[in-house]
Amino acid sequence: MTQNIDGLHWRAGSREIIELHGNINRKRCFDCGEYARSWDEDGEIPPPCALCGGMLRPDVIWMGEGLPQHLLRLAYHAAEQAHVFFSIGASADVAPAAALPLIAKRAGAHVIAISDEEHTQTLLADIWLRGRVNDILPALTEQIMQRGSSIL
């Protein structure tokens, strides 16, 4: 699950992703909520929905909007089922997603926080890898790849 809206997880090859805050690369209708497969780049701005004629918008959660409840339920369930839960780069400021590591920990998961600053997520974590995510993740990935399944 991710709060990122940039589609990076998709481009990296992940397919089972819960994009809590949406994806800037998708468009959906304000009125009916359906996703737009395409639109006329040279037509009306904002483009109308092909199904209902409503306005299309980026498929992201804007300030003040709630998260889609079905995605939040999926995220809570995934956190409850996790054996290991990584909290990567999160500052624990954005609710309700900030509660996910706590939900995982209460369900028995080992929580690993990767962050360069101390905050709620790092304090509840079983392991805090302090530093820049851009430095730590490649090094961690390399270690896992070198050791294979023996590290797990």
In a domain, 6, yes or no: no
- The residue segments making up the domain with residue 93 are 69-151
Number of domains in the chain: 1
Structural tokens at position 124: 């509840």
Beta strands (DSSP E) in the chain are 22-29, 56-60, 84-88, 110-115, 127-130
Pick the catalytic residue: 21, 70, 110, 119?
Answer: 21
In a domain, 102, yes or no: yes
Tell me: the pLDDT tens digits for 71-88?
Answer: 999 999 999 999 999 999
Tell me: the pLDDT tens digits for 50-69?
Answer: 899 999 999 999 888 889 99
In a domain, 141, yes or no: yes
Structure-token match 């530093």, residue found: 131
In a domain, 134, yes or no: yes
Active site (annotated) includes residue 21: yes
In a domain, 35, yes or no: no
What is the CATH number for 97? 3.40.50.1220
In a domain, 125, yes or no: yes
In a domain, 79, yes or no: yes
Tell me: the pLDDT tens digits for 88-118?
Answer: 987 667 788 889 999 999 999 999 999 999 9
In a domain, 21, yes or no: no
Mean pLDDT of 14-26: 92
Amino acid 81: pLDDT: 97
pLDDT, mean over the chain:
89
Classify strands 22-29 and 56-60 as parallel, antiparallel or unpaired. Answer: antiparallel
Model confidence band, residue 16 (pLDDT cutoffs 50, 70, 90): very high
Is the whole-model pTM more than 0.75? yes
Asked if the model's pLDDT at residue 29 lies above 70, the reply is yes
